[in-house]
Amino acid sequence: MINFILIILASLFFTGIIIRTKSITSGRKGPGIFQPLKDIIRLLKKGAVYSKTTSFIFQIAPSIYFASVITAIMVIPLGNYKGLISFEGDFVFFAYILGIGKFFNIISALDTGSSFEGMGASREALFSMFAEPAFFILMGSLALLTGHSSFQQIFSSLHFGSSISYILGIMATFVLTIITMVENSRMPFDDPKTHLELTMVHEVMILDNSGFDLGLILYTSSLKFAMYGSLIANLFMGDFPLYLTIPIFFGMQILFAMAIGLLESFTARFRMNHNAQYILALSSVSLLIFLGVLLILGQFN
């Protein structure tokens, strides 16, 4: 229960910190940290307008998206404490519940009948397809390393002993960060600020949503950030007692948010048709993590 509350709390200020960091690095003062939250609350109070060419899918998709992410958050542990849902092999459940949300997002974009949104949907599908093996290979290697297959057991028994496991930890952090950027359509894969056909992936899918739905979708993306941040925090938390884990957790979230802000400020967006190979490179790097794990275990097939 406690990690659920912590993640929700973290999501409240996560996007704000990112925007604030980006503003400060550009020399501006920027909006307040809770400004995105206030935008979302404003949106939630408005009514939604539904296009006549859409079907019921368009109306239920944002809710399903939101629900899927909430369910996924319930799986994530915090140090020694299990998530609300925890069983053997739950990281597969985690990945695919997120997949359901993404699927509904995609088909609701296709539902509007606009070719613009269809383009965004196809790009989103392609990038997620390439990022998925990276995530699975990473979690698979961690599962192989610790010998367990549920999130909580994996993270609680992850020890960093030899130097090679440190470098594996760093590589895993790198992979998870890039997965975050891909999933949330941030730079360098997509520019959330420009709404041009050349650069849009996620923004274009939600062009037709309004009011309450839009508010839900925006809040869900903050939730996803906080979710991935908590995954990374979990890599380093291990077995610490509660009074240590909470500050570490918030500290890592803030650091993660600032890191994303810096990453976004200083990298240019990749060429759109090169995006696919960079994401696939991610899978290759996680493959190297897998081979490294095999090395540590000293067992080869």
Partner 1 sequence: MTNVLLLMFTISLLYLGIAHRLLTYIKILAVQGILLFGIAFIELIQINAVNLALILLETIVFKTIAIPLFLQYVMKRNRITRDAEPFLPNFISLIIITLIIITTFILSNTIADSRISKIFFVVALSTLFTGLYIIVTRHKIITHVMGYLIIENGVFILSLAVGNEMPVLVNLGILLDIFASVFLLGIFVNRIGDELKDVDVDQLKSLKD
Binding residue (CB under 8 A) for partner 1 from 99, 169, 188, 292: 292
Q: Say whether residue 281 binds partner 1 (CB under 8 A).
A: yes
Other Cβ atoms less than 10 A from the Cβ of 286: the count is: 26
The least distance separating partner 1 from the CB of residue 165, rounded to whole angstroms, comes to 10
Binding residue (CB under 8 A) for partner 1 from 48, 207, 246, 288: 288
Encoded one letter per residue, x for contact with partner 1 by CB under 8 A and - for no contact, window 139-178 reads ------------------------xx--x-----------
Partnered with residue 78 across adjacent β-strands are 81
Angle between helix axes 90-111 and 56-75 (nearest 10 degrees) is 160
Q: How far is CA 27 from the centre of its chain?
A: 28
Q: Say whether residue 291 binds partner 1 (CB under 8 A).
A: yes
CA angle (234 as vertex; 146, 40 as ends), nearest 5: 145
Which part of the chain contacts partner 1 (CB under 8 A), choosing from 16-24, 83-91, 193-201, 292-300? Answer: 292-300
Q: Say whether residue 297 binds partner 1 (CB under 8 A).
A: no
Exposed/middle/buried for 207, CB within 10 Å: 0-12, 13-18, 19+? Answer: middle
Task: Check if the beta carbon of residue 214 is closer than 8 Å to that of residue 50.
Answer: no
Binding residue (CB under 8 A) for partner 1 from 28, 194, 277, 297: 277
The least distance separating partner 1 from the CB of residue 146, rounded to whole angstroms, comes to 19
Quick one: 76 or 168, whose CB is closer to partner 1? 168
Q: Say whether residue 26 binds partner 1 (CB under 8 A).
A: no
Name the token pair of 86: 């925890």
Q: How far apart are CA 144 and CA 76, in angstroms?
A: 19
